[in-house]
A and B are shown apart, each in its own frame.
Chain A
């Protein structure tokens, strides 16, 4: 038995004076340090990334997401056709027609071009509302979580009232009152997303705010704003990112739904949801062509959902 172990054993039964004598605390401390417990410091980002990369499905989905992005950005290079102008005599060519690999729509516009350019609109409609709602929702939620009393309650009550609507219905109602147009759709979806994000932010903030390190920060004389920024926010961001990443797919679906109902991007914009609606009537003539925009909505949503699921797993299983 080493000196240290005997000391520890004794400490349990005989009171600290004996223990200290046996332990020779200072010497033990130096020994411990000398043993070189050099732990390699890894940042949180790197840990998450390595865990994310282990999930093969997530990686595959992310690749699809990247491809979608790239195809949307480089659309002009990927197709010679104008997505907005069609040759009326070339309407409703089926898939696989030479020169129009995905066929043409009811106005003779090339489907591949429509889909690629439409990707831009869908991605915009997916990301902008999510990001804006994340920022606004976090601000509201963290404020409500930190500031007890009237302000916090009022904010969250207001969120509750928006929350009391089924999401799609609220989006449709806002879209209906704002009128058609992609901008209005984006605004509508943003409004619908702010309350759930605020809720997540608020409950996460409440959990963090009672921790002792926040008290310690108060003790240093830091202002509430500083504490919110440096102590609360980094600890809350995890939950919010995990939640918000799952919203992108829903945003795209919702925007597509609104377009389908005629509330989204105005024709002849190649928004996928709108395309589904305008092609609907031709389903018996060229069924596969009608499927094309729907399929792309599906593919994009699946890819985003899988990627965000993988992100969630990579971020959650820590701390």
Chain B
């Protein structure tokens, strides 16, 4: 197991490098001059050049990448022209909020999805199964931002059951929690749908396997049989869970914007509007790195739980 861990971590490092290169290239090579945010529309050519020089923008690309990376590793991700603060400052604040939202959404979506998928998989063809299929399909097809708008209008605006904006814990646990409900539901529905689908397919595979009959014949009670089925079916679900968490992190841009939740998503959205590329760069990098690490952990968890995966990875 240790060897697998070392190998996977070893594989992750070049990927992290690659991710940083891609983020850097996206923000610095493609059209849209980075100095535009700092300099007014009618600055002279000489002014522009001076600013570019001072920002090191006229250095060759690899050097710019290198210095950016070095700074990033030390925690310096640049300066936000829009908010006039260190990017890393902004990220630290926003990071916690996104983490809360993403974690709760993931827990909700994965657990309910798992449960629904299990129920559907074990009662294949019956009404419950069809019902879950419909929910999955709907969940996959509704854009999260649309759902968010509707929920916001109905529950926060119309019924006034939940607050309409992001609240912090300063406002009291109750308000904070209730302010989570709508954003979590909007974001997690897709996760729920996909998890339910994958779980159902996996359970159907396992359920009809011969060894389940053998377990029952050996006298195990239903609960124990259920546990066995789950343990065997869990692997593909784990795989998607990593991707789903990534989708939640990425989709945070949409959900947080609508609910004004002060997380990384909202940060990115505002930064894009203001062409504040340093912030976009830093936030994208942070989210991508988180995604890579989460996938790594999910892979290792899978290897720990499933001997077949372990064998395939050695």
Q: Which residues of A contact B (CB under 8 A)?
A: 157-158, 160-162, 164-170, 172-174, 176-179, 249, 253, 256-257, 260-263, 273, 276, 280, 283-284, 287, 290-291, 294, 297-298, 301-302, 305-306
Contacts and interface: CB of A to CB of B under 8 A. Distances in A.
Interface in B279-302: 280, 284, 287-288, 291-292, 295
A176 B140 contact: no
Contacts of B253: 168-169, 172, 261
B157 A173 contact: no
Pick the 3 closest A-B CB pairs, nearest first.
A161-B18, A166-B250, A294-B146
Contacts, number: 140
Nearest to B15: A164
B141 A291 contact: no
Given A166-B243, A173-B23, 7 more contacts: A164-B15, A165-B19, A166-B246, A179-B31, A256-B143, A287-B153, A298-B143
Contact of B250 (A160, A172, A178, A276): A172
A56 to B, nearest CB: 14
A178 B249 contact: no
21 contacts: A161-B21, A162-B22, A164-B292, A165-B246, A165-B291, A166-B291, A167-B246, A168-B247, A168-B253, A169-B284, A169-B288, A173-B26, A257-B144, A260-B143, A261-B253, A261-B254, A262-B272, A283-B149, A290-B149, A294-B150, A305-B141
B40 interface: no
Contacts of A165: 19, 22, 246, 250, 284, 288, 291
B149 A276 contact: yes
B138 interface: yes
A239 B149 CA distance: 37
A178 B26 CA distance: 8
Interface in B258-284: 258, 268-269, 272-273, 277, 280, 284
Contacts of B277: 176-177
A158 B18 contact: yes
A4 to B, nearest CB: 37
Interface string B27-55: 10011100000000000000000000000
A1 B142 CA distance: 67
Given A158-B18, A167-B247, A168-B251, A294 B291 contact: no
A262 B14 CA distance: 33
Nearest to A276: B146
B52 to A, nearest CB: 18
B18 A177 contact: no
A176 B280 contact: yes
B92 interface: no
Contact of B145 (A276, A287, A301): A276
B120 to A, nearest CB: 15
B257 interface: yes
A179 B30 CA distance: 9
Contacts of A172: 250, 253, 268, 272, 284
Contacts of A164: 15-16, 18-19, 288, 291-292, 295
Nearest to B190: A253
B304 interface: no
B137 interface: yes
Interface string B238-251: 00000100110111
A148 B250 CA distance: 34
B26 A174 contact: yes
B153 A169 contact: no
Contacts of A160: 15, 18
B146 A168 contact: no
A290 B22 CA distance: 37
Contacts of B152: 283
Given A176-B272, A306-B137, A260 B254 contact: yes
B182 to A, nearest CB: 14
Interface in B145-188: 145-146, 149-150, 152-153, 157
